[in-house]
Each structure stands twice: as structure tokens, then as C-alpha cells.
A and B are shown apart, each in its own frame.
Chain A
Amino acid sequence: MNTKANKPPKVADVLIIGAGASGSIAAKHLSENGFSVVCLEQGGHVDTSEFWGNKPEWELMSQKRWHPNPNVRDLATDYPIDTSESDVNPLMYSAVGGSTILYAAHWQRFMPSDFRVKTMDGVADDWPFTYEDLEPFYDQMDIEMGVSALNGDPAYPAGKAAPLPPLPIGKIGMQAAEGMNKLGWHWWPAPNAIPSKPYRGRNQCVRWGTCLTGCPEGAKASFDHTHWPDSLKNGTFLITGARVKEVTLDAEGLANGAVYIDRNGRERHQKASIVIVCANGIGTPRLLLLSESGSHPNGLANSSGLVGKNLMMHPYAAVTGYFDEPLESWLGPSGQTIQSMEFYETDASRGFVRGAKWQVMPSGGPLGMRSAYGGKPLDEAWGANLHRNTKKVFGRAFEWGIIAEDLPDEANRVILDPTLCDSDGIPAPKLIYKNSDNTKKMIDFHLERAKEAMVAAGATDISATPLMRDCGWHLMGTARMGTDPERTVVNEYGRTHDVPNLFIYDGSVFVTSSGFNPTGTISAIALRAVKNLIENRSTQKVAA
């Protein structure tokens, strides 16, 4: 809760819905520029001591309490998601800091062509700005987060160095890099929003390797650490346990607040002059669709009919290599050690467009590896083979993970489920999502190349995972940005075309998905948008 005032302002200058990456950035910058800000977050605060990464029970707890799939975790703060018609399960976390509580902190920039997909490759659409337009905001976010990276990656135009040196790539990174050099393929020590040295009150990464289940060191740059302390000092009023059910409008059709349910089950209305929705690529369209009214019969800000459509979730595949020598492959960061964009750009001869980013990550402890054996014959998964597999794999394996660009398709969408509700009785989202032929061809190609990379690195055995189901970390595209109100939902600064004081800052606004982890780009876009709002405050339309 807020540290300065006991009650939120009756009418806030700005109401932010969601305290994840984009909401945190908006709250911090608006509050330090004199706006009164209220933020509604359905989750609570997570204390570093709640994480298990520095305890023997870590892997056991990772499979339930700290699982990234809300349907598995099944906490009261989560909302259920109907995935019966989806090839991929969405992953997220509801808390102050949002899904960055459980993200791997791969702090990537998109490459220049990602913003010009239509121009370069004749598919999807171009973004309403370029890489160069976004670059200063990438630079600033590197500083706000404390990014550890090595400047000079030939996958990008020359630019400013990150504030911290790169994290160690470890034995697994060195092994993978040697293979890539044998093939003459691109690799580079990977950027992470994890401090290689103490940074702005956060500890240096000590390499627990448990970033995906929460950092017990308090080192990883999750937004509860990087932005909320300043925001609260600036006077932002943060209300946790607040489940928003509707964005409300005044008689002029301007957004004037939101109705939420508190943890005592009371329905409340927070008024505001401006509303910014930052509830992620599923939560945001869900809320807009829930906010239908006589003037917005298909959902708020949905005159284009595109709210909820073009859902992109990044299909993920992996190739695991097994090595004779011990590689300490449980050691962090996790995080990523090295990355490759050798096959990122389009090559028409491959039979598909666009490409994928690869990254090397540690493989964790002995129990996690067991999850791959579910449903196999008893003797194959257990008995003497359990011991043989553990000896072969544990500490001696790493994977090349492949994040494939997911092109927008209106058939892939978020709708309101007709029967499923959250614990407050609010309709839950349902996903309808299928992998495309382009994706399947892309994955097939990349898996073959990754196998070659593993052989070159000296792997004695290899296994491939074509498409993981629990891979929907990256939720994008469901309220896309652009200049044409008939084909997009928001403009380049996140302002909805239909409601001039209603904004969206999260990954919903992405035009295309790229093949990169999106939080760095979500953050840069949110920063660009909120700075524009601050600069234009005098002319911004607001609710009375």
C-alpha cells in the first residue's frame, strides 16, 4: 500500500490498471512528474524470502506454487484461462512487478527489421515507428533496469553500452560458443536485466540459477524492485488485491475510472481523469471486452473489432545436447548465457518468412529433468533407467532454446469464456490459438540447425522438443497499434482511437511479435508513450 497517504485521491490524475512492467514504468514517471497516480493490482506484494531458489525444496515448489502457468498455480489472485482450444498455455504472474517476478530477465531489443516486416518481407504490417525511434528509450530502460551486456553485438546497429558488464557465460556458454565458431555462426554473450555488480540497491547476481521461479537474492530486475520503491516515495497510491471488472465512461464518452472488487468482496469505483490499462496481452483485452456498453457494444475501444485478435505467444522449441564432460549446468544466470541470431532474418530459400532467436540457458536440478518423462513406459522413466538418465544428463546437458517469430493472425484470439469465471465471478478469458504453417516450417528448420550446433559443440547425444505447450510467456498483439483506426486499436503512444483519454501500454499493442523476449520492448514502448503523455499533458483530453 501507499506509504504517504491512507486513502487514494477521490479523482486521480491517472489510474493505472496493472502493476507489471508497463504499469510500473508509467507509475514511476507520472508520479515523479507531479501526476497523482492510483494503481490497481489484482495480486499482492511478493517478498524475496518467499522464493525457494536457495533451498533444497526449490524444484518441488517450482512445480506448483511458483509455476508460471496460472491454471497450475491456481492461486486466488490468479484468474483461470480456458486453453482447451489453444496449442499453447499462457504464462504470467499476478503481483506487484507482474510477470517479471517469474521472468528470466532476457533483456532483448528487437532488431531493425522487426519494425518493418511488411516493407522487408511483405507480410503482416509495419510498426508506426522504427528501431531508431525507439532506441533512446531502449537505452534509458537499460539504465533503469541495470542491464548486464557486452556492447558491439553484430546483430544490431552500433549503439550505447549497457550500464553493467555481461554476466559469466559459464561452461555451458563456452561449450556452445565453441560449436558456433566451428560452424562460423553468430553468437554473442546475452543481455540480461540481472546485475553483474551491485546496482541501485540491488545485490550482484550470485548465480542461483532460479530466475524463473523468483530471485532469492533480490538481484534480478523485477519491477517491484526497480520501479515501485521510487513510485511509492513519489506518492503513487498502490491498491493490491484489486480485481478490476470494468473501465467506466462519463457522459462525454471519456474514461473516468474503473470498478474493482477488493479483497473484502466490496465493489469500489476509483475515479480518474486518464486511464491506462497495463494488464498484459490477455488481461487487457479481457477487461476491454468486459467493459462493453451501449456506446461500445462490442467492448471498449473496439470499433475496429480487433480487441482480443492477433494474439501472438511465441512458439518455443529446444534442442538439448548431452556431453561427456561435467558442465555445472545448474549454475546461473537463468537468465541466458549466449544467444544467436544467425538465422533470425528472412531467407526466402528456407520456405518460410522471418526467423528465431536462440539462447543457451542452464538446465536446472535433477528433479526438473524428470518432468520430461511423464506418460512414458514405467521401465523407461523409472527403475535403473532413472539412475542412468540422471547420470547421463544431470550437470552435463544444456539446451539451445528457440523463440520463433509468431506472425499475427486474427483467428488467434482472446474472447470471454461463456461459463468460466474467476474467484470474484468475473468472466474468464478463453484463448483460441493455433500454430501456423509458417511457424511449423520455421521450427523444423531451426531444430535441424540447432542439432548441427550441438554436434559441433561436441554433444554425444541430442534430443529435440519440437513445440512446448507451457511456453506462452510472451503475450502480444491483442490491441495492436497503428495509424488506421479501422485496422488498429491504439496509436503509436498507446492512446485508443475510440476513447481519447484511455491508453494501453502493455504487449497488447505490438504489431508483430519479433522472435525476441518482449519485456525490453514493452518497457521501451511504455516509456516512450508515458513521456509523450507527460509532454502533452496540457492538451490531453481528460474526464471531468
Chain B
Amino acid sequence: MSTMTKQRRATFAGIADVLIPAEEGMPAATQVDVHKDMLDHVLSLRPDLADDIWRGLDAAEGKPPQEAAANLNTTDAAALSAIGLAASAGYYMTPKVRELIGYPGQQSRPDSNPDAEPEYVTNGMLQKVIERGAVYRPTPQKL
């Protein structure tokens, strides 16, 4: 069966929390709901991940999450990789996690004055490079 089920979602949640636990001041994966709508969102954008994820989750069903993750890592790395990508992609898309790691997302921050002399010119850094001289070998100009 190639669709999400309650069981698969629960298995995913368990493994996601093994991979992304509540440690180092960061929340666990399920504390920011990566196993809920976010997982569906990730799969809607990356349907290519589904087969690997379903296979891994079905193999892990009923096992303790830590043991399931360790088993997959040795027996089906592609499945664990897909589960890990879905979990971490969802995790790092959540605003709370982004705030905690200081990531505003990719930003539109244009240079407000592109004609201004850059700092490396005004502070003399670049002048030192110029003073060190040419770093190319001249060649005969005509064949």
C-alpha cells in the first residue's frame, strides 16, 4: 500500500524523534509536528521519497524506534535516508526551529548603495593586494 496510514505516521514519529531528539536546547521532531501536516506537505513536494519511506516504515513497524532506526541504518540506508530527509526538511522549515538556530530563511537583502566604495577599499585591505603585484605570467601576445 503506497499511502499514509495511522500506523506509518506513528512509526515515522518514533524514528523522527530518535533522529531529532529534544537535546541541546532544541525541540524533538514531533514537538514541532514534523509527523503531521508537515510530513504530508513534504511528501506532496517530494513524491519520489515515498517508496523508500513506506518500505522503511513497514520494516520498522512494531519495533522500538531506536532499534528500528539502527536496523534501517545497517540494512536499508536508502530508507533511513529518506525518512531522515523528510524529518529534517520539515524540522528546519518550521519557524520555531529557524528562530532557535538563527536562520531567517534565504533573504532578500539588496545592497542599498552598490556604487559606494566597498569597505575593503576604504580600509586599505585591497591596496595590500595591489601592492603585492601581478600574479600572472605574461605570454607572447601573437602566435
Contact = CB atoms under 8 A, between A and B. Distances in A.
Interface in A132-186: 132, 150, 152, 154-157, 164-169, 174, 177-178, 180-181, 184, 186
Of B26, B101, B143, which is in contact with the most chain A CB atoms at under 10 Å from its CB? B143
A544 interface: no
A483 to B, nearest CB: 10
Given A367-B92, A390-B101, A130 B142 contact: yes
Given A119-B140, A120-B137, A326-B102, A384 B111 contact: no
Contacts of B92: 59, 365-367
B103 A366 contact: yes
B110 A206 contact: yes
A285 interface: no
Contact of A53 (B19, B93, B106): B106
Q: Is the interface of A mostly helix, strand, loop or mixed?
A: loop
Contacts, number: 182
Interface residues of B, number: 55
Interface in B79-95: 81, 84-85, 88-89, 92-93
Nearest to B21: A383
Contacts of B133: 154
A226 B110 CA distance: 21
A120 B110 CA distance: 43
A207 B139 contact: no
B37 interface: no
A211 to B, nearest CB: 11
Contacts of B81: 374
A187 B69 contact: no
A79 interface: no
A204 interface: yes
B89 A59 contact: yes
Given A113-B139, A181-B128, A196 B103 contact: no
Contacts of B114: 164-165, 167, 196-197, 204
Report the contact-size class of chain A (Cβ under 8 Å from the partner): 35 or more
Nearest to A366: B92
B125 A60 contact: no
Contacts of B20: 382, 386-387
Given A61-B45, A384-B23, A112 B106 contact: no
B23 A383 contact: yes
Contacts of B129: 154, 180-181, 186-188
Contact of B111 (A152, A156, A167, A186): A167
B107 interface: yes
A157 B140 CA distance: 13
A188 B130 CA distance: 9
Contact of A113 (B73, B85, B125, B136): B136
Contact of B101 (A186, A378, A391): A391
Q: Is the interface of B mostly helix, strand, loop or mixed?
A: loop
Contacts of A378: 69-70, 73
A13 B42 CA distance: 49
B77 interface: yes
A276 B116 CA distance: 43
Contacts of B19: 382-383, 386
A206 B114 CA distance: 11
Contacts of A181: 125, 128-129
A96 interface: no
Contact of A112 (B26, B107, B111, B136): B136
B101 A208 contact: no
A130 B115 contact: no
A217 B108 CA distance: 9
B13 to A, nearest CB: 15
Contact of B136 (A157, A174, A197, A390): A157
B132 A54 contact: no
Contacts of A113: 136-137, 139
Interface in A172-230: 174, 177-178, 180-181, 184, 186-189, 196-197, 204-210, 217
Given A365-B106, A382-B20, A383-B18, A189 B120 contact: yes
Contacts of A61: 45-46
B111 A155 contact: no
Contacts of B115: 165, 197
Contacts of A196: 111, 114
Interface in A307-323: none
Given A60-B45, A169-B120, A204 B134 contact: no
A189 B138 CA distance: 22
Contacts of B128: 181
Interface string A53-78: 11011111101100000000000000
Contacts of A382: 18-20, 69, 84
B85 A63 contact: yes
Nearest to A63: B85
A205 B120 CA distance: 20
8 contacts: A63-B85, A112-B138, A154-B133, A165-B114, A206-B109, A342-B135, A366-B92, A382-B20
The 6 A-B pairs with the shortest beta carbon distances in the complex, nearest first, are A387-B24, A206-B108, A384-B23, A382-B19, A196-B114, A206-B110
